[in-house]
Structure 1
């Protein structure tokens, strides 16, 4: 019999997701008009649809692969050209990502851990923005989350009669989703692969030879899912297709490894073929981003502090300390579990995703906008929830009783800082700080006096404090350039 509390919690999470991603969806009009124009072209011309042309005459393409534009073009083809048709796929992907992330964490850490993950994800400011906007990032995040789910499902078949076959098919699905991620935003999707590969190699319940074969199957699936379209760009003569926008030599491969690839890391992007315009959603300077080595130039100072400060920090860093601490805490709680423990694999997969992507974003010297950080949101939400529930599991241990109030107090002070930069509800920063410190004090006293009821009250206060911080970030007006600068 279904637990009504569990059903109610899941239902509330999904209703909140629909509200966050759908209410007043058309407020931004056609959003990124650069991609909206391509969606309109694809809705009236199948050739423009295939090549992601900027115009139905197929003169030039946008500077990104076509997958995200295909969804928008199909929506416009069926619903007509309007703001709702353009943004409907993005909002639906927001709800789908929320549920998929919930389902993944719930499967290994329990229903309430999954619900907390879903709420943290949808309330993360940059996620609440980008699933209401028509850049490729929404589809990219959904595909990466789906690949994480498929990867972890592949590790479940320990003593299953058809385990090898089912495990391989899950890996094939994970690879295909990564491949379509490449057709969404090129090399960025590969940032999740180190954590995914490590999780599979460590936790797969097979011998090393079989593990390698399954990985090769996933790689093959990834190549096929992305390669068919890339191959078309190579074999179709230049005269029979539109010019590859963003490239200097009409080459998608050049675009992949240059402007949209290593150029983003080094800051040496080659500019647009459209004089006076970049590919950053219309209006960015051509080649704008010779950011310049370690400094990052106009894209912000590079370094470990980059995503914790300024407008980057207000989009993603509210719970980042808890997320990174969650990696260590959950691994300690899992301890010496068997090698095939899928909970440990989930920490490695999400923790690797978070760590690798965070480091790359921190040090890339090329074009880098605040909204890129949406790629961190699923992994961050998962690790906050997993870390919190790991502490709750270990609440009777001395180290957990010491660490929990320290982490809550630190996070309260941490969230007090970016809240204080805004004039939006100025009283809220004090509410966040006071409620958070009350929660930390409650946990400290509960651990000292061994009063479980007090620990529950402290948990509720801590959750309220963290929710207020996320809500503040969610409600604060977005910087104008996060709407104007898009790539």
Structure 2
């Protein structure tokens, strides 16, 4: 055999060995993606319509371009949802393709969730290698709050996807050799964060400080180039974030009222209800805040405590580890913080030794560490509306940090330097101990799980400390760490009974349904999906004709619609529905009629005005107004049983007064009254 033939044979063996070494990575990634798909897609066959506030809006937006671009909640285009419409656009497109079904509305979020897993893997692989990427993707896929959030049509799945995509683009920028290539990827990252803004406004900007710090930590360019890159990225970020705000506020023609704002402008929504109001408390959607309680009906399971869980518990440094949030996101949060501290210490030591630094790797630690810390601080100290499912945005950072930290810990374990090998068994012990604490908070809900975690962890730690069967011990350690969040995720995917508007995993999913809701300071109206299943009716009594919308009308609701259709005389709008979005959503979802939602989500938005109602009646566009569809009829907060009120607090509004003075009750069904308004 010639020397050339020998060299060729050696090269072939190397290629085959490399393929074998990397082949399992592809299979592992495919398995993780399938796992995520199964967990997220289980909801498609459950008959769950998601957050009906957005579900109704999707139908309205599918009707015409104006409703689509503004994000109109009602078919009449009177008031919008209280978010930009980007996250709803894929749902509308899905409806255009497949028709209006529960599964077609939820399908885009499944795709977004799986895409985020894939992009996180690709991002971490660029930064910390294949093994770290697989661990990060698996952790992300098995984060309980992420699983239950991606099963709804809330805006968070799109937000997380855009931010993870931005992290991928940023990592490509840090890996780029050519300055132009680096700038291109950096600006693309800024564009993607701007897209996240159009899903959930300022929630997307929380990570911006982390991106800036990571760029400064990882860039080797001259300071003039850095200034150019950062200023350009800022311009791209502002343009991609605010173009919709500019279009809405500068729109020359007739347009819907911007739900949740105080003056009908998108800018007010950004700065107020979805901005500083979230951090410091203050104004609820469409109305001045005064704090206090809103009583929706009779006491139910969970009581005020359940509502407190839905609102994330008390603000403060311990909120991320508290009863409301801990089981949703914090399973591996201690490990992420440990990894971050170890990386900081090692980085400082390298700096003191003047050792050359891998700037791209350093940028990754700063990015993911900053992402986690800034979000955790904002959520912990937030005085306004806060729900545990907001923390799903922290899951990619936790996955990335734990993935990279685990790879380092395994390396130190296999090639020990001093006592560094103890980091791996100590990390398993910390994760197992924290899982024990979280599960023990409610042992009535799968309490056996803590013993399973303890058993696996003890065996793993024993083998790790004795340095026996190292590979098996490492695998057992990973199982011990992921067992509890994995079970919570599985139950959340296949057996969750929680509120789709406020998704929660574990026992919190069953405890967040209390009807006595103590709202955060300055918040007078619950956000989308907060309302419990009952609608109108006396305290503790049976629900009225409303009920939680499910895509079909009840017999009482159908009676109202039939009467209005038979007597509308061809009016443009079948009826205007008072009592907030939860009252109107059933009629929007289950009929093809032109419905007007009075007051938007909360019933407190000043749209339509009394003058608009009068004009519509005079022009023959509107004949019927349905009132009494608010919650808590007969109680201190309800609009039910009468002519309604100003949103959930029952304060008389100008439209309510106008209906009382100018319209006549022609049909009473339960606590609902249909009023006929005639010109003259």
Greater Rg over alpha carbons, structure: 2
Aligned residue among 161, 172, 183 for 1:168: 183
SS of corresponding position for 1:66: coil
Identify the residue that residue 382 of structure 1 maps to in structure 2.
400
Matches within 5 A, 1:428-467: 428-446=449-467, 453-467=468-482
Alignment pair present for 1:145 and 2:160? no
Given that 2:98 and 2:104 are in contact with CA atoms closer than 8 Å, whether structure 1 keeps it comes out as: yes
Measured in 2, the distance between the counterparts of 1:201 and 1:224 equals: 22
- Once the two structures are TM-superposed, the CA of residue 269 in structure 1 deviates from its matched residue by 2.4
Q: Deviations over 1:135-182 (max 9, x none)?
A: 000000001101111111111123xxxx11111110111010011111
Distance 1:152 1:105 in 2: 9
TM-score, normalising length from structure 2? Answer: 0.64
How far is the alpha carbon of 1:350 from its aligned partner? 0.6
Deviation digits for residues 104-127 of structure 1, max 9, x if unmatched?
111222212111111110110011
CA distance in 2, matches of 1:459, 1:300: 36
191, 209, 217: which one pairs with 1:202?
A: 217
1:375-414 deviation digits (Å, cap 9, x = unpaired):
1111111111111111122221224223332222121111
Does structure 2 retain, via aligned residues, the 8 Å contact 1:171–1:217?
no
Deviation string, structure 1 residues 293-333 (Cα, Å, up to 9, x no partner): xx999652111111112131111011110011111223445
Residue number in structure 2 paired with 1:220: 235
Answer yes or no: is the 8 Å Cα contact 1:154–1:168 preserved in 2: yes
Alignment of 1:42-53 (within 5 A): 42-53=61-72
Match of 2:614 in 1: none
Q: TM-score, normalised by structure 1?
A: 0.89
Give CA deviations for 1:203-233 in whole Å, capped at 9, x if unaligned. 1121111112111111111112122211112
Q: 2: distance between equivalents of 1:480 and 1:21?
A: 15
Residue 84 (structure 2) pairs with residue 71 (structure 1): no
RMSD: 2.3
**Conserved in 1, the CA contact under 8 Å of 2:217 and 2:359?**
no
Evaluate the alpha carbon distance shift between residue 28 and residue 137 of structure 1 in structure 2; reply closer, same or farther with a 3 A threshold: farther
Cα deviation, residue 454, structure 1: 3.3
C-alpha distance after superposition, 1:8-42 (max 9, x if no partner): 21221222122122234242521101111111111
Native 8 Å contact 1:419 1:472 kept in 2: no
Deviations 1:460-485 (A, max 9, x none): 11111112111222134557353486
Query: Where does 1:95-106 land on structure 2 (aligned, <5 Å)?
Result: 95-106=114-125
Of Structure 1 and Structure 2, which has the larger fraction of its residues in strand?
2
Q: Which runs of 5+ in 2 are unaligned?
A: 1-14, 289-295, 298-307, 504-512, 514-526, 530-680
Structure with bigger helix share is 1
Which residue of structure 2 aligns with residue 246 of structure 1? Answer: 260
Which of 173, 178, 187 is the equivalent residue of 2:193? 178
Query: Could you tell me how far apart the structure 2 residues matched to 1:212 and 1:101 are?
Result: 28
Is 1:18 aligned to residue 37 of structure 2?
A: yes
User: Where does 1:279-290 land on structure 2 (aligned, <5 Å)?
Assistant: none
Q: 2: distance between equivalents of 1:314 and 1:479?
A: 16
**Alpha carbons 1:180, 1:225 under 8 Å: kept:** yes
Match of 2:418 among 384, 391, 398: 398
- Specify which of 93, 98, 117 is matched with residue 112 of structure 2: 93
Equivalent of residue 327 in structure 1, options 327, 333, 340: 340
Partner in structure 2 of residue 233 of structure 1: 248
Per-residue CA distance 1:431-452 (angstroms, 9 max, x = gap):
1012113222322222xxxxxx
Superposed CA offset, 1:224-263 (max 9, x none): 21222111122124x6110010011112111111111111
- 5+ residue gaps in structure 1? 275-282, 285-294, 447-452
Q: Is 1:267 the counterpart of 2:281 in the alignment?
A: yes
Contact 1:97/1:145 (<8 A) preserved: yes
Alignment check: 8 A CA contact 1:144 1:177 kept: yes
Aligned to 1:354: 372
Aligned-pair CA distance for 1:68: 0.4
Q: 1:99 to 1:7 in 2, by over 3 A?
A: same
The residue number in structure 1 matching 2:133 is: 114
Moved over 6 A (4+): none
Question: Aligned residue for 2:271?
Answer: 257
Q: Distance in 2 between matches of 1:353 and 1:94?
A: 19
* C-alpha deviation, 1:422, in angstroms: 4.1
Number of aligned pairs? 459
Measured in 2, the distance between the counterparts of 1:333 and 1:462 equals 24
For the Cα contact (< 8 Å) 1:401–1:443, is it kept in 2?
Answer: no
Contact kept, 8 Å, 1:65 with 1:186, in 2: the verdict is yes
Q: What is aligned with 1:291?
A: none
Q: Deviations for 1:77-103, whole angstroms, at most 9, x for unmatched residues? A: 111100111011100001100000011
Separation of aligned partners in 2, 1:360 and 1:227: 22
Superposed displacement of residue 188, structure 1 = 0.8
Instruction: Give the secondary structure class of the aligned counterpart of 1:206.
Output: coil
